[in-house]
């Protein structure tokens, strides 16, 4: 996260760290963010889980290095990548995936003060709405990312305004939206991918976007691009109902 601050414990209780174990390896490494949407289900970006690795998620943790506070570790027993997910030389489309997760005892996430699910959005939020992004990804001072969860506020940008960037206009479709700040400086970055952009209405937090792509991080006129979750609510609900 560029232009972010250390997240207050409990501010993003649906935030998870998606971690991969490479073939023959023994350690899990943070690769992406994700969002707990049901005790057994994590929403993330498809481009995070292209490889046939073992995946686990850390729920209820703020620091990736210290086990502080005591996080729940759940293994992905099933991975569902969107059937029309596609990455071309110019862009990434339908960048959404679901992980079905279970603890070694066969249990789903246990909700508490630091672990809660985010709601799926039913209605759009207006352009200009202030929403929240969070993650352990690259910052202006560390390309390796932050061991402590960071967050920032960004504004939803209309398709029309975002398309004034010609490079973006060539890729943007109805399954994406842009968010950021006109002047740059506040943005998601590498390692935040898959994580949440949440918007609040009547004290309810909706998972409105999934960190997907962008031309660099925090640059003026190059906002972050997010998977538009409202377009995929039926896909999500169908996958969960069938599995």
Catalytic residues: 47, 95, 193
Q: Measured between alpha carbons, how far is 123 from 68 in angstroms, rounded to an integer?
A: 36
Q: Which position among 55, 168, 208, 213 is part of the footprint of ligand 4AZ (CB under 6 A)? A: 213
Candidates 110-118, 164-172, 211-219, 229-237: pick the segment binding ligand 4AZ (CB under 6 A).
211-219
Q: Measured between alpha carbons, how far is 195 from 137 in angstroms, rounded to an integer?
A: 10
By CB under 6 A, residue 217 contacts ligand 4AZ:
yes
For 195, counting Cβ atoms within 10 Å of its Cβ (0-12 exposed, 13-18 middle, 19+ buried), the class is buried
Taking CB atoms, the residue at the shortest distance from ligand 4AZ is 214
Choose between 37 and 197: whose C-beta lies nearer to ligand 4AZ: 197
By CB under 6 A, residue 209 contacts ligand 4AZ:
no
Choose between 73 and 172: whose C-beta lies nearer to ligand 4AZ: 172
Binding mask 153-192 for ligand 4AZ (x = CB under 6 A): ----------------------------------xxxx-x
By CB under 6 A, residue 93 contacts ligand 4AZ:
no
Q: Measured between alpha carbons, how far is 85 from 91 in angstroms, rounded to an integer?
A: 11
Residue 230's SS3 state is helix
Choose between 7 and 178: whose C-beta lies nearer to ligand 4AZ: 178
Residue 161's SS3 state is helix
Q: What is the closest distance, in whole angstroms, from the C-beta atom of residue 137 to ligand 4AZ in the complex?
A: 7
Q: What contacts 187, CB < 8 A, 6 or more positions away?
A: 1, 2, 3, 152, 154, 180, 181, 214, 217, 218, 219, 223, 224
Give me the residues paired with residue 93 across strands.
Answer: 86
φ, ψ for residue 170 (rounded to 5)?
-70, -15
Candidates 14-22, 53-61, 158-166, 207-215: pick the segment binding ligand 4AZ (CB under 6 A).
207-215
Summarize as ranges the residues that interact with ligand 4AZ (CB under 6 A).
Answer: 187-190, 192-193, 211, 213-214, 217, 224
């Amino acid at each position: 996260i560029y232009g972010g601050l250390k997240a207050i414990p409990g501010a993003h209780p649906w935030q998870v760290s998606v971690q991969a174990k490479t073939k023959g390896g023994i350690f899990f490494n943070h690769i992406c963010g994700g969002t707990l949407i049901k005790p057994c289900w994590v929403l993330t970006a498809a481009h995070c889980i292209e490889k046939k690795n073992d995946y686990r998620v850390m729920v209820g943790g703020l620091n990736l290095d210290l086990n502080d506070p005591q996080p729940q570790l759940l293994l992905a027993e099933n991975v569902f990548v969107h059937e029309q997910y596609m990455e071309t030389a110019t862009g990434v489309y339908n960048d959404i995936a679901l992980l079905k997760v279970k603890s070694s005892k066969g249990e789903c996430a246990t909700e508490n003060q630091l672990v809660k699910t985010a709601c799926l959005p039913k209605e759009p939020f207006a352009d200009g709405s202030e929403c929240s992004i969070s993650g352990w990804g690259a910052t202006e001072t560390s390309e390796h990312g932050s061991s402590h969860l960071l967050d920032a506020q960004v504004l939803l940008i209309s398709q029309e305004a975002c398309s004034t960037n010609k490079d973006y206009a060539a890729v943007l479709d109805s399954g994406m939206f842009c968010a950021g700040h006109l002047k740059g400086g506040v943005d998601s970055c590498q390692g935040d991918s898959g994580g949440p952009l949440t918007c609040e209405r009547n004290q309810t937090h909706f998972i409105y976007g999934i960190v997907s792509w962008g031309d660099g991080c925090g640059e003026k006129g190059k906002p972050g691009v997010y998977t538009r979750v409202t377009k995929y609510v039926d896909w999500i609900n169908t996958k969960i109902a069938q599995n």
